[in-house]
Amino acid sequence: MTKFTKYHVSKGQIHKVPEELIEDFAEGDVYLVDAGSIIYLWCGKSASPDEKFVGAITSVMGDRTRRGHTRLITLDQGEEPKEFLALFGGSIEVTAQDTEGILRRVALKKRDYKLFRVHIEGDVSLFYEVKRSRSSLTSDDVYLLDTFNKIYIWQGKGSTSEEKETGFIIAQKYDSERAGVQEIIPIREGEEIKAFLNALK
């Protein structure tokens, strides 16, 4: 049986699924199944666009760390190919569950500011929300501060070129998923503008 790792997209973060729940899927959620040469992005029929977005970005980041040698395959619930099901002994169990996503829907009236961290270490790529605070910023990573009409890309002095490029990719994708026009503003550590600092707690 092919070895793989399964991750669950929940509240903007990627959580490794414990072995005892490896065959369980929820129709309201999104999962990443990393089989090495193939990364599957499984989308439940009731999954929200924001969960699909986080899952897609994470799968792309995972492929980038492997220099494009990994196939990325998106699967909708009920359309799983035999090779995917074979990872789980021939079948999977789907339950009627759901979890809360973190990227706001276009229709939401409440516009809370959000801070996200982009971190790549070896084959591990992460994109997740952190506390919106100056203390959350670390020099070895890239951060996205979303103020709805502006997306700031803060680049730490020790961040890698891959993290910086990935930050732009995420910001552009984030922008394209939302109605209206958002301004993407790159900021280097030590060159912070007042509007950026004021948006942090």
Same-domain pairing of 87 and 155? no
Rounded Cα–Cα distance for residues 132 and 154 (Å): 13
Q: Is residue 107 part of a domain?
A: no
Mean pLDDT of 170-193: 79
Q: Which helix (H) or strand (E) is 152 found in, with range?
A: strand 150-155
Is 108 within a domain? Answer: no
Residues 9 and 94 in one domain: yes
The reply to whether 9 and 93 lie within a common domain is: yes
Question: Does residue 197 surpass a pLDDT of 70?
Answer: yes
Give CA angle at 174 (156, 81), nearest 5°.
Answer: 110
Q: How many domains does the chain have?
A: 2
Same domain for 86 and 50, yes or no, is yes
**Given this model, what pLDDT does residue 102 score?**
35
Candidate ranges 14-18, 55-59, 130-134, 147-151; pick with highest mean pLDDT: 130-134
Tell whether 68 and 136 lie within a shared domain: no
**Amino acid identity for residue 58 in this structure:** T
d(CA 11, CA 110): 17
Tokens 């600092």 correspond to 197
120 and 93 housed in the same domain: no
Q: Are residues 44 and 11 in the same domain?
A: yes
